[in-house]
Amino acid sequence: MSAYRDCLPLPHGNVELPAFLPDATLGVVRAVDSADLEACGIQAVVMNTFHLMQRPGSSTIQALGGLHRMSGWQRPIVTDSGGFQAYSLIRENPRFGRLSDRGISFQPQGSGRKFQLTPEKSVQLQLAYGADVVICLDDCTHPDAPLEVQEESVRRTIDWARRGKREFERILAQRRLGDGPRPLLFAVIQGGASRELRRRCAEELLEIGFDGYGYGGWPLDAEGRLLRDVVAYTRELVPPEFPMHALGIGHPASVVECTRMGYGIFDCALPTRDARHGRLYVLGGGSDEPVSYVYIHDSRHIKSDAAIDPACDCLACSRYSLGYLHHLFKIGDSLFLRLATLHNLRAMVRLTQRLRAEQDVRARPS
């Protein structure tokens, strides 16, 4: 178990921690392909059950040979259960679905079909898709929700995790597994901003027993700042030998901070979205602000022959100038989206490598 702290052994390979996982929500990281992701050192991606079961749909994914075959990605895939997305949809408009102890039923706008997501079905789908890390369906709430709503969410999250684990074990027992690593099952710790509820949720989930745990719920306050205290407290509730996934956290400064708290897995759409909007990361030395930004639309770059970051070895930096990238951005060429995405992802990989080296130094006996 203790090896999990530094490395997750998974059916499609090892993931060295800490690791940043880009969001390939619908089976693709926008603007780049799987070979691009490998080239910049991405170890694993996060895909989303809630979205994939709608598009392209479970029977299509099966017909295309599962998520790995379908997307041409041969490294590990973490599949999110979709609890957060289903909740967001229903919160946005209660007409779109219903949440009960049984599970979640939803019908997104414009969809002629009704979908059911129960704790059992979520695990069935994720395993059928070929996930390396399966995440239990959870009942998400907003940190501003009243205490009784938070209590119900914790009770339901624990109950759903128990049912998810039972289903996970049932399916794994039916499969004839080889000697290699099996898929892992993670449960999500809810409880909003209440320490008491976070503690109760963590204790009960630890009692049921999972391979790893996730920080659930909104990690940011209304101003977009990390909810530092509750994020740190939630990590302290779980023994250090268990890996923890900071779900939805991926701002470079938050990755640094949460790694020091003991989180090992990060996923977020921010670095790739920033890239597409022309906000490019330059890794700095400071630990408070681990990156500074290059805004590619800025006219100061028009005639610049320099790279985005001279220390970066990505395709964009090793081959193209800021001036050329500025030009691609201005004319709206799709090549800009690809090069910028590769660069920001490479920056996230280099950042986590740096954090790993820092942890190794700390772990070394003096």
- Residue positions annotated with a catalytic role: 80, 267
When the beta carbons of 188 and 339 are compared against Zn ion, the nearer one is: 339
As measured in angstroms, the least distance from the Cβ of 306 to Zn ion is 12
DSSP H helices, 40-177, are: 49-52, 58-63, 66-71, 83-92, 119-129, 147-174
**Strand ranges in the chain using DSSP code E only, listed in sequence order:** 7-10, 13-16, 19-22, 45-48, 77-80, 97-99, 104-106, 115-117, 133-135, 184-189, 212-215, 244-246, 265-268, 279-283, 291-295
Q: Which is nearer to Zn ion, 247 or 307 (CB)?
A: 307
Which of 42, 137, 185, 312 forms a contact with Zn ion (CB under 5 A)? 312
Number of residues forming the site for Zn ion (CB under 5 A): 5
293 touches 279 (CB < 8 A): yes
Contact call for residue 31 and Zn ion (CB under 5 A): no
CB 318, min distance to Zn ion, A? 7
Q: What's the closest the beta carbon of residue 135 comes to Zn ion, in angstroms? A: 31
Q: What span, in angstroms and rounded, lies between the C-alpha atoms of 220 and 225?
A: 5
Instruction: Decide if residue 314 touches Zn ion (CB under 5 A).
Output: yes
The nearer residue to Zn ion, 44 or 314, going by C-beta atoms, is 314
Whether the upstream peptide bond of residue 18 has omega within 30° of 0, thus cis, is yes
CB nearer to Zn ion: give 189 or 339.
339
350 binds Zn ion (CB under 5 A): no
For the bound state, the minimum distance from the C-beta of residue 122 to Zn ion, rounded and expressed in Å, comes to 37
Return contacts of 175-180, CB within 8 angstroms, 24+ apart.
Answer: 180/11
Q: Looking at beta carbons only, is 84 or 281 nearer to Zn ion? A: 281
Contact string 118-157 vs Zn ion (x = CB under 5 A): ----------------------------------------
Single out the residue of 198, 279, 343, 350 in contact with Zn ion (rule: CB under 5 A): 343
Q: Which residue among 317, 322, 345, 348 contacts Zn ion (CB under 5 A)?
A: 317
The encoded tokens of residue 317 equal 């930096």
CA distances from 335 to 96, 299, 314, 338, 345 (A): 37, 19, 14, 5, 15
**Helix and strand numbers, DSSP H then E, in the chain:** 14, 15
Of 365, 319, 250, 231, which Cα lies nearest the Cα of 39?
Answer: 319
Tokens 């740190």 identify what position? 232
- We find the least distance from the C-beta atom of residue 246 to Zn ion, in angstroms, to be 24
Residues of this chain that interact with Zn ion (CB under 5 A) are 312, 314, 316-317, 343
